[in-house]
Structure 1
């Protein structure tokens, strides 16, 4: 029996970029997916477009409308907390609405997760030696390289690309990741790794996650990260470091053991 994967797709003012045909055709070819679009307080016609899309396949498409914009972190969290209540969902993923990482690439990540019961998370990477056809602007590449230095300092993990917007999780670890609100709207991926590091343990974490090179990633114009957000990135990193690292050093360490066995009824 095929496992079903719910994919969260956060959307903020995506009306002009939403390629409806790609989503519908993907579901026609692969019925074991559920697409959960989260309208993050859009001010254009994104909500109407998403509900129109849902009407074409109501069984495999759901839409969540957030009244106020919460940023990518809040949108993904809302989608994860909804999908974990659906008993037929086995894995929960998230993917950018612009499909800079394609649905086919996401399917490859899901296949990797399903093939290895030891894995709790699989995520795409644009920075591995075998990553191919990665197209991004020079400015974005420079910003990414600058961030990577500080992210590695905070994480203390041999991960090359934490920020790629294509990640899939076994459903039974979702409770450990998405219950608590994230500190940062855009750097919440770092918090995901830190939360997994805390609950699985640093010694076992690398045995339960897998960073997979992407065959293609193409930057799409229309980034939702503003200039103000870019300036706030260093501050966000400091806040994350203070809340996850310094707090840990001031408290007695505890060990939490999670069950990594697949359980589609666990919410």
Structure 2
């Protein structure tokens, strides 16, 4: 009887070990199922966020800026001619440039205004003769409406986060009148008058705009020919790349 009892006890201990092992395997399986479910949920969240951001940026053909693995990709999938992938900021400025270029072409102003996207932002360069008489800073009344319309094109929500600087320039021929004692004076007042139109008639918020005058000291061309001097007499409107916003806003 004693041998049979011991055999039964050993058999019962063996069954308890299997039960504990089965419980452990079950818990482990549940753990991995939960982890897998959480992983799939994160993917869905990232995909939803990426889709929303693409729509907000006006994209449709570009790649997601957030991938399904959660990594951030700041580049878009639209290549330029030299093979470099454009950033979202450049695409915004190029979009505004295209809109402005179309208006300039339709209005017959292409020969008087140059547009260019460069590192500091989008530059619209106006020959002074378009808006001003020689040696004067008052905007021609018959041309003011065109400046207002261009200003409205620059007031698009897509670039509302960018600052705008109006820059006045002259050639190197000295000026000394009862209104303007130097080219500095003339360039500053011209820039200020353009800025006032953009604020008062184009609806651009004044805190986004500044005006500066450089006189003859930042020429685009040589001043030894009439063509060169004509190129230097200009007013530039700069829509700044947003990476310079902190500098423009005097933030450190």
Normalised by the shorter chain, which TM-score bucket? under 0.3
Larger Rg over CA atoms:
2
More helix by proportion, 1 or 2?
2
TM-score under structure 2 length normalisation: 0.27
